[in-house]
Amino acid sequence: MNKPRQILRKELGPDESLCDHCTAKCCQYFALPIEAPLNFDDFEHLRWFMMHDRASLFVEDDVWFLLVHTQCKHLQTDNRCGIYETRPRICRDYTTDECEYDDSYTYETYFETSEQIQEYSHARFSCDPWHPNFRTPKPGLPILY
C-alpha cells in the first residue's frame, strides 16, 4: 500500500491549516548551540556526546550544534500538541510561516556517529594529542639546477 503524498504548502486552500497536515518535525528533536571544538580534547568531548543514543552534531555558518533526536512528551498521535494552550514560549513563537514542514534542507556538516567525530578529529589533529600533526610535512620548493 502506497503512503499518501504529503500536500505541499502552496497547495493549501485558503481555509486550510498547515497544521492539519503536519508531521511535527519540530517536535521530534531539539538543537543547542555549543562551543566550536578547537583541539583534540574538545573533539573527545563531542565524541562522548555522540556515544549517547539519538544524538548527532551539525555545523551551520561555523556554529556547532548538538542535535538531540527525541520527541516532545506532549506530542499526540495525530501530531498535535497535547498542551497547546499552555505550551512554552518557544513553541508559541514558532509559526507555520517559518516551520520546516516541507523543508528538505541538509546540513553544511553533519555527524551521526562517534566514529565520524573521531575520524574527523584525527584528520585535523594527530591521533596522539601530544603531536601537533600526523600529516607529512609540506614539501619545500623544488631545487632548480
Say if residue 140's pLDDT is above 60. yes
Structure confidence at residue 16 as a pLDDT band (50, 70, 90): confident
Q: Residue 101 above 80 pLDDT?
A: no
Does pLDDT of 144 surpass 60? yes
Where are the chain's structural domains? Answer: 11-124
Mean pLDDT of 92-103: 80
> What pLDDT score does 109 carry?
93
Query: Which region among 1-5, 49-53, 122-126 has the lowest average model confidence (pLDDT)?
Result: 1-5
pTM of the model: 0.74
Q: How far is CA 13 from CA 10, 16, 98, in A?
A: 8, 5, 18
**DSSP code of residue 26:** G
Nearest-Å Rg of the Cα atoms of the chain is: 22
| pLDDT bucket at 67, cuts 50 / 70 / 90 | very high
How far apart CA 125 and CA 105 sit, in angstroms, is: 30
